[in-house]
Structure 1
Amino acid sequence: MEIDLYVLTLERSNEIASEFINTWLANFSELASEYEFPQYSSKPNFIFSSAVELIEQLVANPNEPHAIYWKNPNFWNNPKAEILKTGMLFFTEDGAMIAGLTLVLTETLEIARYLQELGKTIWGNFGYTTFEEPPPITVKEFIRNVNVASSPKLFEGSLIT
């Protein structure tokens, strides 16, 4: 079963984005070959060739929302041996970031462990699990999702199972 984990960090920074990428996505491939800024613009101000370049621009423009996706190439080669399928980084319209992972797991305690570790990686105190649904683009909506989400979830830094 595939499940998405999302954790919110209020700090939009190159350091936290790099920590997420280096910890969770070391051998992953970016899903896009180029990134427009602003996202979905018919006349973008910039077009970047890497996620790192885009992240620098998004840190400098904290109210600009964007989504970046990575895939685990090993997952498609041997899906039974891999747990992590995709990684995601979302930039909210109110200056925060949301790190996400798609896992192939069914054991609730294992899912909770991944959620907790993701929270530690990005210094996040709020997180939840869902199925094939992107996170909201504001902090307020994200915390609302955490409040109504089933367990496991992170609430004010505590893991609820």
Structure 2
Amino acid sequence: MTEKKGYYADCYVLSEKRTSVFIQTFLDKFVPNRHESADEYEIPQYSDEPTVLFRSAVELMDYLSINKNEVHTVYWANNDKGDIKGAMCFFTNDGQVILGLYCDTMYPDTSIEDNVYADLTSFCESSIGYITYEEPTTHNTTEFLERVKSTTA
């Protein structure tokens, strides 16, 4: 029997649906019992002198839905036991959002991540994505498409 490896697979899918409602629906579907991985969110991200400071991811997502070129990353951990360990949103500098799920893996048996990726692409109604391992994605659609191409080549 193949065992889980102790590291995670990252499943990423590109979406044009950069709205609070869509992202909230994504979170409610895949990690309904979750907690935010940060206590506050600054604009610009990681700034020592932010122009805006949010106390919740919901406030941040509302802002990022309007400010389409603002770059940010948000992580949530899954409080439930299961293969999906958490969710990620990478807000790109060109108005898109990359939705991600990180999950257990039994690599080289990729059945867990393949199933998670299939569910994610179906939910997003997008086949533009890829699976990687313990590697964050980019904040730019062109770079994301290059990564997709390199993983399918």
The TM-score with structure 1 as length reference comes to 0.83
Q: Which residue does 2:85 correspond to in 1?
A: 85
Alpha-carbon distance in structure 1 between the residues aligned to 2:28 and 2:79:
16
Gaps of 5+ in 2: none
The TM-score with structure 2 as length reference comes to 0.87
Do residues 102 (structure 1) and 108 (structure 2) align? no
Q: Which residue does 2:117 correspond to in 1?
A: 115
**Percent of residue pairs identical:** 36
Q: What SS does the aligned partner of 1:29 have? A: strand
Q: CA deviation at 1:150?
A: 4.9
Alpha-carbon distance in structure 2 between the residues aligned to 1:110 and 1:150:
19
Work out whether residues 19 and 121 of structure 1, in 8 Å CA contact, stay in contact via their aligned partners in 2: no
Q: CA deviation at 1:127?
A: 1.0
Work out whether residues 58 and 64 of structure 1, in 8 Å CA contact, stay in contact via their aligned partners in 2: yes
1:42 maps to which of 41, 48, 73: 48
Q: Which residue does 1:78 correspond to in 2?
A: none
Please tell me the root mean square deviation across aligned C-alpha atoms, in Å: 1.6
Equivalenced residues, count: 145
Q: CA deviation at 1:23?
A: 0.6
Q: CA deviation at 1:88?
A: 0.6
Q: What SS does the aligned partner of 1:149 have? A: helix
Following TM superposition, the consecutive aligned residue runs of length 4 or more in structure 1 with deviations greater than 4 angstroms are none
Deviations 1:74-102 (A, max 9, x none): 45xxxxxx211121111001110011111
Q: Which residue does 1:60 correspond to in 2?
A: 66
Alpha-carbon distance in structure 1 between the residues aligned to 2:9 and 2:152:
13
Alpha-carbon distance in structure 2 between the residues aligned to 1:149 and 1:58:
29
Work out whether residues 73 and 91 of structure 2, in 8 Å CA contact, stay in contact via their aligned partners in 1: yes
Q: CA deviation at 1:123?
A: 2.8
Q: Which residue does 1:20 correspond to in 2?
A: 26
Work out whether residues 14 and 55 of structure 1, in 8 Å CA contact, stay in contact via their aligned partners in 2: yes
2:14 maps to which of 8, 19, 24: 8
